[in-house]
Amino acid sequence: MNETGRHMKLLVVGIDGGSWDVLEPMLERGMLPNIAKLMQNGSYGTLKSVHPPMTMPSWQCYSTGRNPGQVGIFGWTQYDREEGKIKLNTSGALFEPTLWYELSVAHKNVAIINIPTTYPPPRVNGVFVAGMPPNEASPYFNPPGERLTAKRCGYKVMVGDVRNPTLTDLKRTVGSKFKYAKLKTKNADFLHLTVYASDYVQHFHYGEKLLEDFWVHLDKEIGELISFLGKGWNAIIMSDHGFTKLKGTFYPNEWLASRGWLFGSVPGGALAQLGLTRGRVRALMEAIGLKRLADAFKGSGKRLLGTETGAIGGEDLNNAIDWNNTLAIADSNYCIYCLERGIAGEIKRELEQLPYIGNVMYGREIYRGKYLKDAPDLVFTTKHGYNSVSTLGIGKIHGMHEWKGCHTMDGVLILHGPAFKKHARGVASILDLYPTILSLFKVKPSRKLDGNVLKKFLREEYLCRKKK
Ligand SMILES: [Zn+2]
């Protein structure tokens, strides 16, 4: 036993969609000097996301240290077998104890800033600024009085235009959070700050100068925050999933429809041709017309799903699917739910034949826990550079999504400071961070976790060892 737990100070900078695919070419050209320094003096590796590698459920899994089967969240939306329709997940659905809950109970002061899908903000021993509030006016600070402090730093949740943000707006939005985080380092033992802008800038501007300029700025902010903290602090840079340049898109619901497993109709989409009367088209137009497409851009999560012209996804599929005849449906981009027993094997075999598909796995093989019954029957990956989008109405099985970048399983992990080894390398899971962080603070987890303490990255004296 050592004293390190009592004096532990840890900063985690979460970079939504942080990826070596983006960082490596920039590091080679010397464009990210601060990140390079952290890597030189610390350890780094790849941080594997959970399936599906999306913002929801990845941040929920980081927050609870448990896999989606234990958290019960498999995407922004998921098929509810009892209700027989697709439902929208909210952070309110999180019933598991969280990292900040356990640290708070252990009397550690925490400052949790801008983790996506954490609205409404829970009470903690310290401050909690929820990520993805419905809007700037929402009560996303706990305690509520923090709003005043944050607003003095110019705290801004999102840029004005998510698709085409200006560099100035990005700098201001991201900078305000770093400024606020600096203030909180005074009291916090554990400070987590997530940068979310990286996700949408990479979706819409992958390979463009704007993305490089954004990362150059982010590198500067990270460098300034870490030098502000001074010696004694530890820092982890991590991401919820990776990113890469998009080469092509698979539309699993269109594919299921083409194979006769899914029936439905979307105005303007290819399925509208399938046995539709003029009256039915009009009824559908009214049901899922312009209003719904506009609605898709309201609300913090949904507006980022990227809806293409004429295509609908998520909850809006409820009105487009012919539930009486449909046997399988794709949701959350990489998940397939079978509405009839015994067809998963056949779908799996056919899916595996497609050129852009990586692995096709049974949900019961990759998830475990009390919500396994709610898990998708099949979960698949796509080959590097290809993504899957579970919208309907685009009229083709394979194409090019409007995004320029897409998610991958491989995120980034950099560990720096007195608790971490220098020059250690390796692969870790996002689920390993929870037990590692608790271990650094010498806090015993209140229940069994799905990940492991990252011993390969920790220095000997920071490892909790059982006495011989
Ligand atoms: Zn994300």
What's the pLDDT band for 322 if we cut at 50, 70, 90?
A: very high
Of the listed ranges 211-225, 364-378, 451-465, the one predicted with least confidence: 451-465
Q: Is the pLDDT of residue 439 over 80?
A: yes
What pLDDT is stored for residue 224 in this prediction?
A: 98
- Cα angle: 276, vertex 281, 285; to 5 degrees: 155
Q: Are 368 and 70 in contact (CB under 8 A)?
A: yes
What pLDDT is stored for residue 93 in this prediction?
A: 58
From ligand 1's centre to the CA of 423, what distance in Å?
27
Q: Which tens digit of pLDDT belongs to each residue from 236-259? A: 999 999 999 999 999 999 999 999
Q: Give just the sign of the alpha carbon dihedral 37, 384, 252, 74.
A: negative
Q: Which tens digit of pLDDT belongs to each residue from 3-14? A: 455 689 999 999
Q: If you search the block for the tokens 């709003």, which residue do you land on?
A: 147
Q: Is the pLDDT of residue 310 over 90?
A: no
Of the listed ranges 71-80, 164-173, 269-278, the one predicted with least confidence: 269-278
Residues listed for the chain = 468
Q: Which amino acid is at 278?
A: R
CATH architecture designation of domain 4-245+407-462: 3-Layer(aba) Sandwich (3.40)
What pLDDT is stored for residue 96 in this prediction?
A: 78
Q: Which amino acid is at 193?
A: L
What pLDDT is stored for residue 199 in this prediction?
A: 97
Average pLDDT over residues 142-147: 97
- pLDDT > 70 fraction of the chain, expressed in percent and rounded: 87
Q: End-to-end CA distance of the chain, in Å?
A: 13
From ligand 1's centre to the CA of 54, what distance in Å?
5
From ligand 1's centre to the CA of 346, what distance in Å?
31
What pLDDT is stored for residue 384 in this prediction?
A: 97
- pLDDT > 90 fraction of the chain, expressed in percent and rounded: 81
Q: Which tens digit of pLDDT belongs to each residue from 65-86? A: 999 999 999 999 999 999 999 9
CB atoms within 10 A of CB 447: 11
CB atoms within 10 A of CB 294: 9
From ligand 1's centre to the CA of 277, what distance in Å?
41
From ligand 1's centre to the CA of 431, what distance in Å?
15
Average pLDDT over residues 166-170: 98
Q: Are 102 and 449 in contact (CB under 8 A)?
A: no
Burial class (CB in 10 A: 0-12, 13-18, 19+), 222: buried
From ligand 1's centre to the CA of 341, what distance in Å?
32
Q: Is the pLDDT of residue 272 over 70?
A: no
From ligand 1's centre to the CA of 58, what distance in Å?
7
As beta bridge partners, residue 338 has 328
Encoding tokens for residue 304?
A: 């980022």
Encoding tokens for residue 290?
A: 């312009």
From ligand 1's centre to the CA of 311, what distance in Å?
22
From ligand 1's centre to the CA of 411, what distance in Å?
10
From ligand 1's centre to the CA of 16, what distance in Å?
5
Q: How far apart are CA 361 and CA 284, in angstroms?
A: 34
CA distances from 202 to 189, 191, 210, 231, 237 (A): 31, 25, 9, 33, 18
What's the pLDDT band for 265 if we cut at 50, 70, 90?
A: confident
Q: Which tens digit of pLDDT belongs to each residue from 169-209? A: 999 999 999 999 999 999 999 999 999 999 999 999 999 99
What's the pLDDT band for 424 if we cut at 50, 70, 90?
A: very high
Query: In the chain, what are the domain boundaries?
Result: 4-245+407-462, 248-402
Tell me phi and psi for residue 455, to 5 degrees: -60, -35
Average pLDDT over residues 87-93: 76
What pLDDT is stored for residue 268 in this prediction?
A: 59
Q: β-strand 234-238 against 10-15: which pairing, if any?
A: parallel
CB atoms within 10 A of CB 137: 8
Q: Are 235 and 229 in contact (CB under 8 A)?
A: yes
From ligand 1's centre to the CA of 2, what distance in Å?
36
What pLDDT is stored for residue 284 in this prediction?
A: 40
Selection from 415, 462, 460, 417 nearest residue 231 by Cα: 417
